[in-house]
Amino acid sequence: MARMAFGLFSSPRKKKAPRSITMEERTHVVADRELPLRIFENHRAKRLTLRIDAGGRGLRITVPPGLARGEVERFLDRHQGWLETRLAKLPDQPQVRPGVKMPLRGRPHLIIHEAGKRGTVSVGEFEGQDALFVHGDLQHLPRRLADFLKREAKRDIEALVAKHTQAVGRKAKAIRFKDTTSRWGSCTSDGTLSFNWRIMMAPLTVVDYLVAHEVAHLKEMNHGPKFWALCRELCPRTDEARAWLKRNGGALQAIEFG
């Protein structure tokens, strides 16, 4: 049986979408910036569509079947100005490193590297600022911070799932954590909840909203009025948190951990 999933910012579908076929993977230069480009063929597509991945990490073109390669190149040429304008509005892709600040639960934390200690991450204060102390070899600092966010996500989100599932009288089959660029969370028809661990950089209200959103799908597998009423019942600040994520989600996706 096919599994249906509803996720944050995804549109409900009555039928399973046809699988796209990857035609080509290469790079495309936009304003001296080299980006991965994936070209997909979809038999339902009537025209070419161009999408920028979350955080400006890459480009995706969907084409109708049998389209000549030259049409794709001309399409890219016509939209070069649009791509430059859109990418210019996105934040630079900051690499986590000592001396920069990374948000944790919505509060900026200064990253401090301390060599010679066991490879752990601890939260503290440095000269009156919130700080993240990353121990161990410098080369492993980005990975250690990513692992730290995953652990924090597991702890906070599992507790929120327990709270909200009790409220709706439904159980989650499993809870998974991923680093996805297309959505912040999802819920499958068998009750598996998935969350993007990057959400731990957002304020706790936003984290609560994300969990409430996916738990609400355990009862309402749609985005209709009943779903949103339940979502607001579970998280009264749903509208505020949803707007925050739409404004700031791209910046969180842009942060590089590798």
Q: Can you tell me the distance from the alpha carbon of 136 to that of 113, in angstroms, rounded to the nearest whole number?
A: 8
Residue 110, token pair as written in the block: 């200064």
What are the angstrom distances between the C-alpha of 88 and each of 51, 100, 238?
15, 22, 30
Q: pTM higher than 0.85 for the full model?
A: no
The residues that bridge with 121 in the sheet, in sequence order, are: 134
Which residue spans of the chain are classified as CATH 3.30.2010.10? 142-254
| Strand 59-63 to 101-104 pairing | unpaired
Look at residue 8 in the predicted model and tell me its pLDDT: 55
The rounded average pLDDT for each run of 10 residues, N- to C-terminus, in the chain (258 residues) is 44 47 83 85 91 80 89 94 84 78 95 86 94 94 96 98 97 94 88 97 98 97 96 97 91 84
Q: Convert the pLDDT of each residue in 71-83 to its tens digit.
A: 999 999 999 999 9
Look at residue 152 in the predicted model and tell me its pLDDT: 97
Look at residue 185 in the predicted model and tell me its pLDDT: 95
Residue that the structure tokens 């819920």 belong to = 187
Q: Minimal CA–CA distance to 42: which of 77, 73, 13, 66?
A: 66
Q: Can you tell me the distance from the alpha carbon of 79 to that of 75, in angstroms, rounded to the nearest whole number?
A: 6
What residues contact 77, with CB distance under 8 A and at least 6 apart?
none
Helical axes 204-216 vs 225-234, angle rounded to 10° = 140
The gap between the terminal CA atoms of the chain, to the nearest Å, is: 37
Look at residue 91 in the predicted model and tell me its pLDDT: 57
Look at residue 146 in the predicted model and tell me its pLDDT: 96
- Give 142-254's CATH code, choosing from 3.90.550.10, 3.20.170.30, 3.40.640.10, 3.30.2010.10: 3.30.2010.10
Q: Minimal CA–CA distance to 54: which of 191, 211, 245?
A: 245
Map residue 252 onto helix, strand or coil. helix
What DSSP string describes 215-236?
HHTTT--S-SHHHHHHHHHH-T
Look at residue 14 in the predicted model and tell me its pLDDT: 41
